[in-house]
C-alpha cells in the first residue's frame, strides 16, 4: 500500500504528459483525464480508509531513511484532503466537459486545458502528501504554474489583466516561502517536517517566532487570510467558470493545509496562535462585508470564500484538538460547498448570459433547476441546520466554548454574525437573480420606470456595465442564451449531492476529523511515524544514524537525491 | 558551530533584495519581471549562504565527508532556478500578451474595472425588489411574453 502513495501525483502527471502528446484529439484527452482523476479518487478514498485503520502511511522515496531522503506522508488529514480534492477535481472536470470549454470562446487553446488541469491536480496532491517543507514548496509551485496558465486561458484582455495581479502576488508569496525555507534550514539544518518538530523546539523563542511568522505570511497569501487576501476577488472571477470553481475550492485550502501543518507540527506551542485568532476575526468580517457590497455573483462568492477562510483559521488558532477537528471538518465542507456554488454560478452565467446582479432576473421560471442547485449550497454555506455548514460551525463554537477564553467567545460572536451575513449576501443574490421578475431586472417596458434617484443610478450603471462587459468573453449579456448541456447540470447536481452527503455522513466524518485533530494535537506521534517507521527502507539502522549524525555532513547523500527528484 | 559567511555575498544578497523589491513595486510589468529575477537570485544566495563554510565538492569518494560543503542548499537552489526559469518564461509571454492587448497603456498593471465601479456605487440593489413591484409585475406571465420581452431588450441594447 505504501508504494502506492506517489501514484496520486504520478498518475495525474503521467496522464498530463500523455494528454499533451495528443493535441487536437479532444476525445482522447478527455478520456485520459477522466480515467486519471477517477483513479485518484479511488486511491485517495482507499488511503482514507486504510490510514484510519492503521495510522499514517509513510513512504521514504528511493529507500533513503527518514531525515535524509524525501518522506511522503499520508495521515488522516492528508488522506481526507486528498479525497475531497480529488472529488472536487473530478466534479469540476465533468462540468467543464459538459461546457465543452471550446464552445464559449473558440480562440481558447483547448488542447492545453486538460493537461494543465491534471498538472494542477498533481500539484495539489503533491502538496498534501509532502513530508518535508521543500517538497511542499515544489507542490505549491506545480499547482501555481498550472494555475497561471488556467487563469489566463485564452489570453483575453480581462483575463490577462486579472492574471497579472494573480501571478505577481503568487510570485511574491513563492519567494517568501523559499526565503522562509532558507531561514528554517539555516536555523535547524533540516527541512523534514517531522525532524523540524524536534529541532524547532530547541531554538530560542524569538527565532521560532521569526520563522513562524515568515512561514505564516508565505502561506497566508496563498490561503487568502485577511490582510493578504486583496488579490483574490480581483483575479478569480474573470477565469472561466470551472477554473474559478476549482481554484476557489482547492488553491486557498492548500494554503490553509500548509498553515495547519506549520502550526501543529512545526510550531506546536506557538504564541502566533493568539495572532491567528485576531486574523480569523478580521478575515471573517472584512471578507463578508466585501461580499455584501458586491454587484456580481462571482465576486460576491470570492469574498465569501475569503470570509470563510476565517472559520478555518479560527479552528487552527484555538490550538486544541477539538479546534483542529472542527477545522478539518470545515475544510472538507467548505471545499465542496464553495466549488458547488461556483459551478452553480457557471450555470447562472450560461442561462442568464451574465453574472451581474443588476441585469439578472426572472431565472426562477427560466431555470428552476439552477435555482435549486444554487439554493441548497447557499443554505449550506450560510450554516442552516441540518447542513454540514451548520455542523462545522457548531463544532467550531463548541471547541471555542470548551476553550473558554474571552477571545474565543468574541470569535463565536463574530462567527455567528458572519454566518448570518453570508446568508444575507447569498439570499440577496438569489432573490435578485431568481426571484425578482425579468421585467424588474431589465427595467424594460413592462417594468415601472424607476423615478427614484437610486433607480436611475442603477440604470445608468447597468448601461455602463453592459458596455464594458463586451470585453469579457464569459459575460456577454447580449450574446445568445446558449443551451445548457445536461452534463453541466448533472455535474453540479452531483456536487450538490456530495455536499448533502457530507451532512448525511457527518457522524462518521466528524468522528474521523476528531481522530485526525487528536493526532494533530500530539505531533510527537507524527514524528514517531516518520522517523521510527518500521517500514523505513534504509541501508543502516535508521534510528541510530539519525541520533549520531552531524546535520551539516551526513545529509549530503539526501541532498543530491533531492536534487534529482525535485528538479 | 560558527559559520564563516563571506561578507561580500551577504552584501550582494542585501543589495539584490533591495533593488528587486523596489522593482517589484513598479507598475511596469517588465520591471516587475526584472525585480522577480533579482529577488529570486537574492533568495538563491540566501539559501547558498545557509550551507555555511565552503568545502570540497560533495562527491562520494573525492573527499572526507567532513571537508565537503553542504549539498542540500545547492539542490534547493537548483530546483529554485529551474522554477524561476519556467515562471520567467511564462511572465515574458504574459507581458507580451498584455502589451499586445493594450499598446496605449504600455505594459503596466491595470486597475480592476469592477473595483472602480464599486467606488462610484452609492447604494445596493436590494431596494430594487419592493413588495409593490412584486405585486405590480405578474409573477408567472406566459413564456411567450417573456421571450418577446427578451427580444425587445436585446434589440434595445444592441
Q: What is the DSSP string of A525-567?
A: HHHHHHHS-TT---SS-HHHHHHH--HHHHTHHHHHHHHHHH-
Q: How many helices (H) and strands (E) does chain A have?
A: 26, 2
Grid coordinates of A474: 464569459
For chain A, give the mean pLDDT: 83
ipTM of this predicted structure = 0.79
User: What is the pLDDT at residue B70?
Assistant: 84
Residues of B in contact with A458 (CB under 8 A): 125, 128
User: What is the pLDDT at residue A23?
Assistant: 76
Of A149 and A102, the structure prediction assigns the larger pLDDT to A149
| B29-41 burial: b if 16+ Cβ within 10 Å, else e | bbbbbbbbbbbbb
Sequence ranges of the domains in chain B: 7-101, 113-157
Q: Which of residues 99-158 of B touch A (CB under 8 A)?
A: 101-102, 109-110, 112-115, 117-118, 120-129, 133-134, 136-140, 146, 149-150, 152-154, 156-158
Bond prior to A386 in cis (omega within 30° of 0): yes
Host H or E run for residue A322: helix A321-352
Q: Which of residues 2-21 of B touch A (CB under 8 A)?
A: none
Q: What is the pLDDT of residues A300-315, one digit of tens each?
A: 999 999 999 999 999 9
Pairwise CB contact (< 8 Å): B149 & A560: no
Bond prior to A181 in cis (omega within 30° of 0): no
The DSSP code sequence of B70-94 is PHHHHHHHHHHHHHHHHHHHHHHHH
User: What is the pLDDT at residue A184?
Assistant: 93
Rounded Cα distance between A429 and A416, Å, is 20
**Nearest chain A Cα to B124, which residue?**
A293
User: What is the pLDDT at residue B149?
Assistant: 44
Q: What's the whole-number mean pLDDT along residues A352-376?
A: 83
**Least reliable range by pLDDT among A33-37, A203-207, B23-27, B117-121:** B117-121
Q: Is domain B7-101 given the CATH code 1.10.287 in the classification?
A: yes
Say if residue A8 is exposed, middle or buried (CB neighbours under 10 Å; 0-12, 13-18, 19+): buried
Nearest residue, CB atoms, A439 vs list B114, B126, B137: B137
User: What is the pLDDT at residue A476?
Assistant: 40
Residues of B in contact with A552 (CB under 8 A): 1, 52, 70
CB A328 within 8 A of CB A264: no
User: What is the pLDDT at residue A475?
Assistant: 43
Residue A94 Cα to chain centre, angstroms: 18
With a cut of 70, say whether residue A456 has pLDDT above it.
Answer: no
Farthest-apart Cα atoms in chain B, separation:
90
Nearest residue, CB atoms, B32 vs list A148, A152, A168: A168
With a cut of 60, say whether residue A542 has pLDDT above it.
Answer: no
Any A CB within 8 A of B55 CB = no
CB A26 within 8 A of CB A83: no
**Least reliable range by pLDDT among A333-337, A518-522, B61-65:** B61-65
User: What is the pLDDT at residue B22?
Assistant: 95
Rounded Cα distance between A222 and A173, Å, is 7
A60 forms bridges with which residues in the sheet? Answer: A71
Q: How far is CA A435 from CA A70, A247, A429, B142, in A?
A: 55, 29, 9, 16
The model's pTM is 0.83
CB A127 within 8 A of CB A139: yes
Residues of B in contact with A61 (CB under 8 A): none
Q: Give the pLDDT band (50/70/90) at residue A565.
A: very low
CB A249 within 8 A of CB A336: yes
Residues of B in contact with A549 (CB under 8 A): none
Host H or E run for residue A74: strand A71-74
What proportion of chain A, given as a percentage, has pLDDT over 70? 84
Query: Which region holds residue A443: left if phi is over 0, alpha if psi is between -120 and 50, else beta?
Result: left
A294 forms bridges with which residues in the sheet? Answer: none
Pairwise CB contact (< 8 Å): A185 & B50: yes
User: What is the pLDDT at residue A28?
Assistant: 86
Q: What's the whole-number mean pLDDT along residues B16-29?
A: 92
What are residue A371's phi and psi, to 5 degrees? -60, -45
CB A115 within 8 A of CB A149: no
Alpha helix locations (H) across B50-138? 71-101, 113-120, 131-136
Maximum mean pLDDT: which of A334-343, B5-14, B67-76: A334-343
| Sequence-distant (≥ 6) Cβ neighbours of residue A437 within 8 angstroms | A361, A362, A447, B134, B137, B138, B139
With a cut of 60, say whether residue A534 has pLDDT above it.
Answer: no
Q: Count CB pairs under 8 A between chains A and B.
A: 203
User: What is the pLDDT at residue A154?
Assistant: 76
Half-sphere exposure of A466 (CA within 13 A, CB side): 18
* Separation in Å, CA of A294 to nearest CA in chain B: 8
Of A178 and A385, the structure prediction assigns the larger pLDDT to A178
Q: Which residue has the cell 494542477?
A: A120
Of A257 and A27, the structure prediction assigns the larger pLDDT to A257
- Residue A90's CB: how many other CB atoms inside 10 A? 22
Pairwise CB contact (< 8 Å): A186 & B50: yes
Q: Give the pLDDT band (50/70/90) at residue A3.
A: confident
Q: What is the pLDDT of residues B37-64, one digit of tens each?
A: 999 999 999 999 888 777 788 888 877 8
**CA quadruple A404, A410, A413, A419: dihedral sign:** negative
User: What is the pLDDT at residue B146?
Assistant: 45
Say if residue A54 is exposed, middle or buried (CB neighbours under 10 Å; 0-12, 13-18, 19+): exposed
Give the CA radius of gyration of chain A: 24
Nearest residue, CB atoms, B75 vs list A182, A444, A563: A563
Rounded Cα distance between B154 and B90, Å, is 40
Grid coordinates of A433: 437573480
Q: Which residue has the cell 538563491?
A: B44
Q: What is the pLDDT of residues A36-62, one digit of tens each?
A: 999 999 999 999 999 988 888 888 887
| Sequence-distant (≥ 6) Cβ neighbours of residue B49 within 8 angstroms | A186, B5, B9, B10, B13
Nearest residue, CB atoms, B98 vs list A164, A179, A455: A164
CB A391 within 8 A of CB A506: yes
User: What is the pLDDT at residue B67?
Assistant: 81
Grid coordinates of A296: 456580481
User: What is the pLDDT at residue A240?
Assistant: 84
Q: Which residue has the cell 478575515?
A: A283
Amino acid at each position: 500500500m505504501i508504494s502506492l502513495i506517489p501514484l496520486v501525483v504520478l498518475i495525474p502527471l503521467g496522464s498530463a504528459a500523455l494528454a499533451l502528446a495528443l493535441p487536437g484529439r479532444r476525445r482522447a484527452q478527455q478520456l485520459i483525464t477522466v480515467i486519471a482523476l477517477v483513479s485518484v479518487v479511488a486511491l485517495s478514498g482507499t488511503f482514507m480508509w486504510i490510514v484510519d485503520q492503521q495510522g499514517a502511511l509513510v513512504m521514504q522515496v528511493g529507500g533513503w531513511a527518514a531525515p535524509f531522503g524525501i518522506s511522503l506522508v499520508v495521515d488522516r488529514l492528508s488522506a481526507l484532503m486528498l479525497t475531497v480534492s480529488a472529488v472536487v477535481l473530478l466534479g469540476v472536470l465533468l462540468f467543464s466537459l459538459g461546457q465543452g470549454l471550446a464552445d464559449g470562446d473558440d480562440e481558447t487553446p483547448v488542447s492545453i486545458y486538460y493537461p494543465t488541469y491534471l498538472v494542477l491536480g498533481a500539484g495539489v496532491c503533491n502538496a498534501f502528501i509532502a513530508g518535508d517543507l521543500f517538497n511542499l514548496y515544489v507542490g505549491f509551485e506545480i499547482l501555481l504554474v498550472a494555475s497561471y496558465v488556467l487563469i489566463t486561458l485564452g489570453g483575453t484582455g480581462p483575463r490577462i489583466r486579472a492574471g497579472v495581479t494573480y501571478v505577481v502576488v503568487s510570485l511574491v508569496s513563492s519567494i517568501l516561502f523559499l526565503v522562509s525555507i532558507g531561514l528554517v534550514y539555516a536555523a535547524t539544518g533540516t527541512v523534514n517536517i517531522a525532524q523540524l518538530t524536534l529541532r524547532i523546539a530547541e531554538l530560542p523563542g524569538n527565532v521560532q517566532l521569526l520563522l513562524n511568522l515568515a512561514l505564516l505570511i508565505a502561506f497566508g497569501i496563498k490561503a487568502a487570510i485577511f490582510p493578504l487576501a486583496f488579490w483574490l476577488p480581483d483575479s478569480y472571477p474573470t477565469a472561466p467558470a470551472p477554473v474559478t470553481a476549482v481554484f476557489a475550492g482547492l488553491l486557498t485550502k492548500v494554503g490553509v493545509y500548509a498553515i495547519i501543518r506549520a502550526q501543529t507540527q512545526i510550531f506546536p506551542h506557538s504564541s502566533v496562535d493568539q495572532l491567528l485568532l485576531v486574523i480569523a476575526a478580521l478575515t471573517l468580517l472584512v471578507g463578508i462585508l466585501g461580499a455584501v457590497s458586491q454587484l456580481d455573483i462571482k465576486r460576491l462568492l470570492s469574498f465569501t470564500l475569503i470570509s470563510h477562510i476565517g472559520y478555518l483559521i479560527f479552528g487552527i488558532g484555538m490550538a486544541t484538538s477539538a479546534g483542529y477537528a472542527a477545522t478539518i471538518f470545515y475544510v472538507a465542507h467548505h471545499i465542496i460547498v464553495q466549488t458547488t456554488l461556483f459551478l452553480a454560478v457557471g450555470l447562472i452565467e450560461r442561462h442568464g448570459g451574465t453574472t451581474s446582479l443588476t441585469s439578472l432576473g426572472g431565472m426562477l421560471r427560466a431555470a428552476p433547476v439552477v435555482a435549486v442547485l444554487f439554493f441548497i449550497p447557499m443554505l449550506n454555506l450560510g450554516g442552516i441546520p441540518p447542513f454540514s455548514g451548520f455542523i462545522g460551525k457548531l463544532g467550531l463554537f463548541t471547541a471555542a466554548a470548551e476553550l473558554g477564553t474571552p477571545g474565543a467567545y468574541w470569535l463565536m460572536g463574530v462567527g455567528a454574525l458572519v454566518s448570518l451575513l453570508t446568508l444575507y449576501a447569498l439570499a440577496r443574490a438569489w432573490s435578485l437573480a431568481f426571484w425578482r421578475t425579468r421585467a424588474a431586472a431589465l427595467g424594460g417596458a413592462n417594468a415601472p420606470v424607476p423615478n427614484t434617484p437610486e433607480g436611475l443610478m442603477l440604470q445608468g450603471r447597468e448601461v455602463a456595465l453592459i458596455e464594458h462587459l463586451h470585453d469579457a468573453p464569459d459575460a456577454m449579456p447580449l450574446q445568445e442564451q446558449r443551451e445548457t448541456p445536461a452534463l453541466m447540470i448533472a455535474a453540479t447536481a452531483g456536487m450538490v449531492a456530495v455536499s448533502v452527503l457530507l451532512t448525511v455522513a457527518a457522524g462518521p466524518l466528524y468522528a474521523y476529523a476528531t481522530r485526525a485533530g487528536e493526532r494533530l494535537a500530539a505531533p510527537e506521534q507524527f514524528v514517531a511515524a516518520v522517523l521510527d517507521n518500521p517500514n523505513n527502507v534504509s541501508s543502516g539502522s535508521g534510528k541510530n544514524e539519525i541520533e549520531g549524525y552531524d546535520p551539516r555532513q551526513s545529509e549530503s547523500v539526501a541532498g543530491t537525491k533531492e536534487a534529482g527528484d525535485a528538479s | 558551530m560558527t559559520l564563516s559567511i563571506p561578507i561580500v555575498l551577504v552584501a550582494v544578497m542585501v543589495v539584490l533584495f533591495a533593488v528587486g523589491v523596489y522593482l517589484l513595486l513598479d507598475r511596469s510589468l517588465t520591471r516587475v519581471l526584472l525585480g522577480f529575477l533579482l529577488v529570486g537570485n537574492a533568495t538563491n544566495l540566501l539559501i547558498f549562504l545557509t550551507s555555511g563554510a565552503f568545502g570540497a565538492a560533495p562527491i562520494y569518494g573525492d573527499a572526507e565527508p567532513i571537508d565537503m560543503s553542504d549539498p542540500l542548499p545547492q539542490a534547493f537552489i537548483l530546483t529554485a532556478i529551474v522554477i524561476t526559469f519556467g515562471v520567467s518564461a511564462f511572465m515574458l509571454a504574459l507581458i507580451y500578451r498584455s502589451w499586445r492587448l493594450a499598446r496605449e497603456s504600455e505594459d503596466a498593471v491595470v486597475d480592476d474595472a469592477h473595483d472602480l465601479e464599486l467606488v462610484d456605487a452609492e447604494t445596493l440593489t436590494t431596494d430594487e425588489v419592493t413588495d409593490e413591484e412584486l405585486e405590480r409585475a405578474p409573477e408567472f406571465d406566459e413564456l411567450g411574453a417573456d421571450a418577446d420581452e427578451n427580444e425587445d431588450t436585446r434589440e434595445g441594447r444592441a
